[in-house]
Chains A and B, each alone.
Chain A
Amino acid sequence: MNQPVELMMIVLVLTDLLLLGSSRVAGSVRLMAAQGLLLGLLPLLAHHGLGGHALVLAAGSTGLKGLIFPWLLRRALRDTETHREMEPFVGYVASLLIGLAVLGASCWLGARLPLPGPVVSPLALPVGLFTIWVGLFLIVARRQAITQVLGYVVMENGIFTVGVVLVQGQPFLVELGVLLDIFVAVFVMGLLVFHISREFEHMDTDQLDALKDWSS
C-alpha cells in the first residue's frame, strides 16, 4: 500500500468525473492541467526513488502536460472563434451516468486480472483504464476540434498511469521518445485547430463531413 498514490488515484477519478460533467471548455482545460500536474508526481511516488531518471521524467511530464499543453490549448481557445460551451453529442448527466457504469466495469476488470507480483497500488489499473475510456469518450462525444485534442491528452494520461504503475523501469530513451511524440502530436493538432477555425469559421468537427462514400 502506498498512501499518497492511493490518494492520487482517487483525485484522478474525481477529475475524470468532473471532465465528463464539465460544460465549459476553459474549465476542462484547467482540469486537464490539474491531471497533468498530478501525474507528473506519480513517477516520484510510485518507485520510492528520487534518482535522476525519475526526476527528469517527472519534470518533463509535469512541464508538458501540466503547463505547455494547457497553455497551447488556452491560446487556441483565445485566438479562435471557439464556442465556450463543450457542445456535447451526449448530455452531461448521461455522460456522468455512463461514466459511473464504466468506472464500475473497470474496477471489476481490474480485480479479475491477475497482477504479477506486488504493485504500487491496486487502484492504479482500474483508474488508468477508466481515464483512457474518459479520453476516448470525450473525443467521440464532444463536438469541437479542441475538445478532441483535450480528449487525446486525457487518454494519454490514462495510459501513462497504467504504464508508470505496472511497468517499472522502462528505458529512459523510450520514455523521452514517447513524451516527444506526444508533444509533437498535440502541437500539430493545435496548429490544425487554427487552420480548421480559419477555413470553416468554426471548429465543429461534425461539419468535417465532405469526405464520405455514401451521401445521404
Chain B
Amino acid sequence: MIGMLLFIPTLAGAAAFGLRSDGPRRALLVLAALLHAVLTAACWLVPAPPAWNGWLQLDAVGLLFLSIASALFLAAALYAPGYLHRAVQSRRAEPAGLGLLPEVAPEAVFTGCLLLFLASMTLVTVSHHFGLLWVAVEATTLASAPLIYYHRQPRSLEATWKYLLICSVGIALALLGNFLLVVAATPPGAPAGPALTLGELLAAAPQFQTPWLKAAFLFLLVGYGTKMGLAPLHTWLPDAHSEAPSVVSALLSGALLNCAFLAILRAHQVCAAAGQAAFSQSLLVLFGLLSMGVAAVFIIGQPDYKRLLAYSSVEHMGLLALGVGLGGAAVFGALLHAVNHSLTKALLFFAAGNLLACYRSKRVADVHGALRALPVTGALWVLGLFAIVGSPPFGPFLSELTMLKAAFDQGRWAVGAGALALLALVFIGMSRPMLAMAQGAAPATADLDRARPGAERWFTILSPLVLAAAVLVLGLYLPPWLTAQLQHAAALIGGAP
C-alpha cells in the first residue's frame, strides 16, 4: 500500500516529462492526484502494513500529514489545468513582441515536477528512518525549485535561487543533526548503537547521552525549521511564495511546510522519549513566538498581497510550533490547526491566483472592487480572510482557541497573552488591506482580463469553494473519526489525550 502511494506519483511524474500534448498530460495529473487521494483514504479504513524492515510506516501523525498533502494536491490538480490553460491563452492573446507577460517553463517539466513533488512529500510522511527522512525532505526542495521558476523572469529566478540555496544549506545542517543523533544513541564503549528507525530510537532513548542529544535536536530544529519557515530562518519563504504560480504557492504553504514540521515532530518524539521534552518544548515555544512576532511586523503595511499570505504562513507555522511546545491539550490543537491552516491557506492562494489573473498585479493598491468584478472569488477572499485570522465560525478559530486555552490552563499567562496580542496585530494587519481589495467599485472592464470580464469559469472556483466548505464544516462540527485520529496522533507526540 505504501509502495503504491509512492509509486503512482513517481511513475506519473516520469510519464508527464515524456508526454508531448497538453490534454493527456493534464488528465494524467488529475488522475494521479485522484488515485493518490483514494489510496490515502483507504489507509484510514485499513491500516497500511509497514514496508522495508519498518523504514516505511504510516503512523497516526504520518497519516494525518499525508492526508493533508494528498487532499491539497487533489485540489491543486483540479485547479492547475485551468491555470495552465489560462497562462497559455493569455500569452497567445498578447500581441507579439510586446513582452508584457513573462515566458513560462515548458508545461511537461512543470507537471512532472509537480507529481515528483507529491511523491517526495509522500515519502516524508511515511519514512520512519531519520536518514531516509532527510533524503525525502531534501528531495522535496529539489522537486519544488523548478516549480517556483515557472515564470521565466528575473524575480522568479531570484526567489528560486534563494529558496534552493537557503533550504539546501539548512537541510545540510539537519544532516549534521542526524549524525549527532547517532552519536547520542551509541552507548559509551559500544561499537554501534540502535538503527536510526523511529521505533528503535524511541525504545533506546532513555540511555541516550544528553549533551549530544540536545545538540542533535538543535541542529535538526534549525535545519528542518529553515524549511518550515520558522523565524529567523524564514527569509526564503515570502519570496518563494510570492513569485511561484499560485497553485504552487498553495502547495508550498499548505503541504510542504507541514512536511518539514513533521520532521521536527519526529525529533521531538525522540527527545520526549529520552526525558528531554522540557528542552525541546522550550525551544519550540521560543521559535514559535519569534515567528509570530516577525510575521506580525512584516504583515502590517505589506504592499504585496501574496507576500501578505506568505507571512501569514510564517505566523501559523509559529503557532504550530508553539502548540507542540506547550504540550498537553495544545498538541491536539496544533495538529487540528495544521489541518485548518492548510485548507484555508490553499483556498486563499487559489483566490489570489484568480485575482492576479484578473488584475495582473500583486500590489494591494492596484486591486479594488473584487467583490463586484469577481463575485465568487471576492466572496471566497473575504471568507478566507475571516477564517485565517481566526474568527468564528471557521476551523482555525477552534484550533487557536484550543491552543490558547491550554496555555492559560497551564498557567503560562505570559506566553498565552503574548500569542493573543500577536494574533490581534495580525488580525488588524491582514483585514485592512484584504477588505480594501474586496470592497469598492469594480475597475473599468478595460483593465480586466480581456476574455470575459466577470464571468468566472468553474475550474477556477471549484477547488477553493470545496476548501471553503471544508473550513466552515471543521469550525462547526468535528467528525468523531477525525477527533479520534487527532487524539491518537497527539498522544504520540507528547500531548495529553
DSSP majority for the A interface? helix
Interface residues of B in 132-191 (CB under 8 A from A): 132, 134-135, 138-139, 141-142, 145-146, 149, 153-155, 157-162, 164-165, 168-169, 172, 175-176, 179, 182-183, 186-191
Complex-state Cα separation, A174 to B133, whole angstroms: 9
Which A residues are CB-close (under 8 A) to B182? 166-167, 170
Q: Which of B131, B142, B191 contacts A185 (CB under 8 A)?
A: B142
Q: Does B36 contact A (CB under 8 A)?
A: no
**B142 with A188: CB separation less than 8 A:** yes
Q: Any chain B CB within 8 A of the CB of A200?
A: yes
* A45 on the B face (CB < 8 A): no
- How many of chain A's residues have a CB under 8 angstroms from any CB in B? 44
Which of B237-245, B403-411, B452-460 binds A?
Answer: B237-245
The answer to whether the Cβ of B391 comes within 8 Å of any Cβ in the partner chain is no
A63-71, A96-104, A189-197 - the one binding chain B: A189-197
A178 within 8 A of B: yes
A213 interface residue, CB < 8 Å from B? yes
The chain B residue with its CB closest to the CB of A180 is B135
A42 vs chain B, min Cβ distance (A) = 14
B268 within 8 A of A: no
Tell me, rounded to whole Å, the shortest Cβ–Cβ distance linking B161 to chain A. Answer: 6
0/1 per residue, A170-194, Cβ < 8 Å to B? 1101110110110011001100100
Bound complex: CA of A108 vs CA of B142, how far in Å? 36
B contact face: mostly helix, strand, loop, or mixed: helix
Q: Which residue of the partner chain A has the closest CB to B155?
A: A210
In the assembly, what is the distance between CA of A163 and CA of B138, in Å?
17
Point out residues on B near A: beta carbons under 8 Å: 129, 131-132, 134-135, 138-139, 141-142, 145-146, 149, 153-155, 157-162, 164-165, 168-169, 172, 175-176, 179, 182-183, 186-192, 195-196, 209, 211-212, 238-239, 242-243, 298, 302, 307
Task: A192-B149, A208-B158 given; name 7 further pairs at CB < 8 Å.
Answer: A117-B186, A117-B189, A152-B172, A178-B134, A196-B157, A209-B158, A211-B242
Could you list which residues of chain A lie within 8 angstroms of chain B, going by C-beta atoms?
Answer: 113-117, 132, 136, 139, 145, 148, 152, 155-156, 159, 162-163, 166-171, 173-175, 177-178, 180-181, 184-185, 188-189, 192, 195-196, 199-200, 205, 208-211, 213
Q: Which 10 A-B pairs have the closest CB atoms?
A: A174-B131, A177-B135, A208-B158, A181-B138, A211-B239, A167-B182, A163-B179, A199-B154, A116-B188, A116-B186
